[in-house]
Chain A
Amino acid sequence: MASRVSDHLERLGRASADAVAEFGLGAVLFGQSLFWMILGRRRAQPVRLEATFARCMEVGIQAIPIVTMMSITIGMMLAIQGIYTLRVFGAEDQVVIGVGFSVVREFGPLITGILVAGRTGSSLAARIGTMRINQELDALQVMGINPVRFIVAPALIAMAIMVPVLTFWSDIVMLAGAGWYISVDLGMSWGAYIDRLREIVKVEDVTHGLWKSVLFSALITLVGVINGALVQGGAEGVGKMTTRSVVLAISAIIVTDMIFAFITTRS
């Protein structure tokens, strides 16, 4: 009995220690990436533009169709629920307020973040995990090519550029989706809808969402990289860590989102 309790305690302790170690690893990777971005050129080991550009294509351009589709759908869903709720007060035409704020401050960045975590976070984890198993990471190291500079830094840069861009696109499409439903259901004209949006939504609300998305991009990248780097034991290991990276990245996004919203709305 006593041994079972101590077993549980030991497992709990080990898990906590591992979690702290992973946080540390994330911080180290982030720091090293910054180091190579700034000093790489001086050390004749620059972060490659081509690699960054290739990642940008993967992370950003190829994600446009799915982000567009999901954003239109969610925009319409927000309009439907908003009108349904406001009907209680007979204030359906106030739906624009709810939709405007919630899209640019929350839903745009959050949905984009979740989609990118599913697409890019998982592929980063799988790619790095496979590279580790195939000794490609070792090969980089013995060739004198720093893996952080070669793999992590381009991914971080590409994500920091493309995730906000995707988020902005998602904002626009989501608002358009909501506007379409509102115009059909309430008979509000597009002109009136856009005027109303511009009255309510300030630039700060949009940048609030975009800054959040930059934060999400770093979280997704680091979670993906760490899980990839910790892969052990073949294909099964890759699968396990890929799943883990998606779950962790999405959880991290949601928690960070709440904390960010709390802090920035205090003043």
Chain B
Amino acid sequence: MTAEAAVVRAEPELVANPPVIEVVDLITHYGPREILHKISLSVRQGEIMVIMGGSGSGKSTLLNSLLGLIRPTSGQIRILGQDLNAIPDVERTRLRQKTGVAFQGGALFSSLNVLENIMLPLREHTRLDQHTMRIMARLKMQVVNLAGFEALMPSELSGGMIKRAALARAIVMDPRILFCDEPSAGLDPVVSSAIDDLILSLREAMGMSIVVVTHELESAFKIADRICVLDKGNILIVGTVDEVKNSPNQRIQNLLNRRTEEETLDPDEYLRRLTAAND
């Protein structure tokens, strides 16, 4: 219900509100291999966009391109109206303060405790005094249900706690866009569902636009306003949960029903692979 509502709400706004993320004809290479084949996608203000796909579908590459960690071969990525790869460094640094990222493994700094980790963006980008920063970081820890664990080191945290701490650090600057990389990967179903609720509540409370990359169907259906399904570097569909579920596309149905695709291999190719020299 929320999914449809958000989409319906988003339509008329689209005229007034430009999308927060706009990807136009994006092509990226990894070495000589082309990973993303001319992808176009836009994320609207206040929506939760889930980028879904199996391993090797290019979803991590797409995320890394959106984060500016990979330079695309061609195409454009506009974040909050600015061309990520064309603006000067100073501008990009400023832009990055308006986005937050929760990495798959947390990427917490192992030499800092939880509170210091969450405070780091504040310390580097604001002129607040120590006391205020501490309060702001504690507030965010409260939001992610991590209050009381300030003094722990990252190595002492459980998987779920690491994800929460990473989320808290990602939202400590009150970003307009939040990126989450596999928020529920490696967690048990209960904790994973709690993280999904947390992401939903972040959108409600702070009005962020959220991009989630995941391969977990259940989680995707629960939180997504719209889903973008990637397969082998192409976008198969961008649509609401129902649109994706009811899509007649065989590839999408395979992905939803966890069917592996049979590889069609002609006998010659098969033989060639078997007998290929090890090098």
Binding site for B on A (CB under 8 A): 43-45, 130-131, 134-136, 138-139, 141-146
Docked-complex contact A142 and B124, CB < 8 angstroms: no
Docked-complex contact B107 and A136, CB < 8 angstroms: yes
Question: Which residues of the partner chain B approach A135 to less than 8 Å between Cβ atoms?
Answer: 103-105, 107
Docked-complex contact B69 and A138, CB < 8 angstroms: yes
> Which residue from B95, B103, B109 sits with its C-beta under 8 Å from A138?
B103
Docked-complex contact A139 and B93, CB < 8 angstroms: no
Whether A144 touches B107, Cβ cut-off 8 Å, given contacts A43-B90, A45-B124, A139-B101, is: no
Which residues 81-103 in B have Cβ within 8 Å of A in the complex?
90, 92-97, 99, 101, 103
Beta-carbon nearest neighbor of B102 in chain A: A139
Question: Which residues of the partner chain A approach B121 to less than 8 Å between Cβ atoms?
Answer: 143-145
Q: In the complex, A143 Cα to B119 Cα: how many Å?
A: 12
Question: Which residues of the partner chain B approach A138 to less than 8 Å between Cβ atoms?
Answer: 64, 67, 69, 103, 107
Beta-carbon nearest neighbor of A7 in chain B: B279
Beta-carbon nearest neighbor of A139 in chain B: B107
Binding site for A on B (CB under 8 A): 64, 67-69, 90, 92-97, 99, 101, 103-110, 120-121, 124-125
Question: Which residues of the partner chain B approach A142 to less than 8 Å between Cβ atoms?
Answer: 67-69, 96, 99, 101
Question: Which residues of the partner chain A approach B94 to less than 8 Å between Cβ atoms?
Answer: 144
- Contacts A138-B67, A141-B67, A145-B120 known; list 9 others, CB within 8 Å: A43-B90, A130-B110, A131-B109, A134-B110, A135-B107, A138-B64, A138-B107, A141-B68, A145-B121
Question: Which residues of the partner chain B approach A143 to less than 8 Å between Cβ atoms?
Answer: 96-97, 101, 120-121, 124
Question: Which residues of the partner chain A approach B108 to less than 8 Å between Cβ atoms?
Answer: 136
Question: Which residues of the partner chain B approach A146 to less than 8 Å between Cβ atoms?
Answer: 93
Question: Which residues of the partner chain B approach A43 to less than 8 Å between Cβ atoms?
Answer: 90, 93
Question: Which residues of the partner chain A approach B93 to less than 8 Å between Cβ atoms?
Answer: 43, 45, 144, 146
Q: In the complex, A260 Cα to B246 Cα: how many Å?
A: 73
Whether A144 touches B125, Cβ cut-off 8 Å, given contacts A43-B90, A45-B93, is: yes
Question: Which residues of the partner chain B approach A130 to less than 8 Å between Cβ atoms?
Answer: 110
Chain B proximity of A112: nearest CB distance (Å): 25
Q: Looking at B101, B103, B105, B124, which has the most chain A CB atoms within 10 Å of its CB?
A: B124
Q: In the complex, A142 Cα to B106 Cα: how many Å?
A: 13
Question: Which residues of the partner chain A approach B103 to less than 8 Å between Cβ atoms?
Answer: 135, 138-139
Q: Can you list 17 A-B contacts (CB < 8 A)?
A: A44-B125, A45-B124, A136-B109, A138-B69, A138-B107, A139-B109, A141-B67, A141-B69, A142-B68, A142-B69, A143-B120, A144-B92, A144-B94, A144-B97, A144-B124, A145-B120, A145-B124
Docked-complex contact A134 and B99, CB < 8 angstroms: no
Docked-complex contact A144 and B96, CB < 8 angstroms: yes
Beta-carbon nearest neighbor of B69 in chain A: A138
Q: In the complex, A142 Cα to B125 Cα: how many Å?
A: 13
Q: In the complex, A131 Cα to B69 Cα: how many Å?
A: 15
Question: Which residues of the partner chain A approach B120 to less than 8 Å between Cβ atoms?
Answer: 143, 145
Beta-carbon nearest neighbor of B98 in chain A: A144
Q: Which 6 A-B residue pairs are closest in the complex by CB-CB distance? A: A144-B96, A139-B107, A144-B93, A135-B107, A142-B101, A135-B103
Beta-carbon nearest neighbor of B125 in chain A: A144
Beta-carbon nearest neighbor of A135 in chain B: B107
Chain A proximity of B212: nearest CB distance (Å): 16
Chain A proximity of B267: nearest CB distance (Å): 28
Q: In the complex, A136 Cα to B120 Cα: how many Å?
A: 13
Beta-carbon nearest neighbor of A127 in chain B: B111
Docked-complex contact A134 and B105, CB < 8 angstroms: yes
